[in-house]
Structure 1
Amino acid sequence: MANTKEIKTRIESVKDTRKITNAMYLIASTKLRKARNDLDRTRPYFEALRTEIKRIFRTQNDVDSRYFYPPEGEPPLEGTYACLVITADKGLAGAYNQNVIKEVMHMLDEHPDTKLYVVGEYGRHFFTQHNIPMEHSFLYTAQNPTMQRAREICDILLEGYDRGDFKKIFVIYTDMENSLTSSAHCTRLLPFHRAYFQTDTVEKAVTTPFEFVPSVQAVLNNIMQSYVSGFIYSALIDSFCSEQNARMTAMDSANSNAEKLLAELSLQYNRVRQAAITQEITEVSAGAKAQRQKHRKEA
């Protein structure tokens, strides 16, 4: 059985660990709140873009754009896919990264020639370690999602899409459904279905046709570049929020385990200390008894 000094050392170690987990919980909470605020400030702009895209399709029935399936539906698109993979830069976030990797591996099983565009050190390390080729790795940190970085990712993806290097673009990221749960999603980014921009909102009939300069296709393509950037930015923010939420959950679980361990160690410490005290009392009592017996014999 461990002595009181060893147990006390373990108690101090657990207390130090608890301080670290509490600090990490608070940091993750602050980052989560800031990221949500950033997304809330930019969301109205991209909602307005979606409304304008809807109006274009409402007023122009014969719009032809490389970013959309034709009006008659989704044709079979054979060819290479591109996939933007968003992971974290480090662990300590429960199953956050593993769930994203599972979605990626599932896609690679179905489409082995998929080109991977990776955000996050965890994903880069995993694919490198398993000899899975990456088409492009964005070396900036996943801890600071910005609109500028979303535009850079968008430009690279659209450049390959416009050249015809791949027929579809997917995004695998983690969406925080609520404050308690989040899940990894594989979402097709391009091409869009026209029905994606349809809403139940009743609008007034258009009496005066809109004029598009230089053409409706050019206007739509220009808007779509901004919209895709916004979609990617939203995915980066959602993933970052999900990561911080997962990290908060992991730190809260670690803190609860530390509290439980402290209670067990404190109980063990008290038992060992009491046993030591009892042993000392027994030894003193036995010594006093031996002395009394010795005095009686001498008398």
Structure 2
Amino acid sequence: MRTVFTLCALVTLLYLVSCCEKDTHYSKDGKCCKKCGPGKRMLVDDNCEDPRCQDCQDGEYQSGYTSETRCERQPSCDPNLHFLPQNEPSKTRLSRCQCEPGYYCTQDDDCDTCTKQTVCKPGQRVVKKGSPVSDTACEACEHGTFSTNDSSDTCRKWSECKSGYVQNTPGSSNSDQTCVAGTPTYGVLIGVGVSLLIVASAVFVFIKKRKSGCYKLPKKTIEVLTHGENEDVERAYRPAIQQPQEDIDHSVPVSPTLSNLTDNGNYVAQEDGKLTITPTTESNSFS
């Protein structure tokens, strides 16, 4: 009889254990007790078959059945760290933080930090746009194309110079080429530079050959040039000589009269500078 009772007890215990579902029940003191459902926590486990459960508070969650008396905390999504604020987060599942536009986080670190998206610079184009969990991928513009703005989706082709126009400034990865009518400015500068170089080379060769005696002026030409220079120098430094001037007698001839003739009939002339004429006795030239 005693053996039969023992067997019945073992069968009953095995039945209860086998009937205690693992996800929704738990065993306690040989009994199969109920768990609290998702989004709830067990307040007090005083009643195994009908436990008292309470909803998780804001910022908490419980994703499955539990016999725990505390709920899990939702992650803190701080807007100051470039996270988007959580509006009414779920109480039955984990609500991961999300980064604001222009930032991303990786799933490997459960989105604990936000990283700024890469900005494609002028001269590049966007190959793959970023997402909340991936960065932006950039690529340099190919030769003959350019982009001028940040995060350009495409690179544009350089402009082509039409008939009658030539290239003024070459294009680059971040700027278009420009065209002007006629010869470009830089072409004129190159032409002027080449001309000056040719003239300078010719002058240098002439001076070098002249010093070596290849170019000499004829002796006669040198004498003429030298003589002319000497005369110019002498003329410049020659003192001015006052030429003597002859005294010109502007007096009117006097007709011979008895009053201005001597006894022998000679003309009596008055000397310049004398105010009066003093008569003298004429000597006899025949004596």
Normalising by the smaller structure, the TM-score range is under 0.3
Higher helix share: 1
- Which has the bigger relative contact order, CA under 8 A and spacing at least 6? 1
Question: TM-score, normalized by length of structure 1?
Answer: 0.20
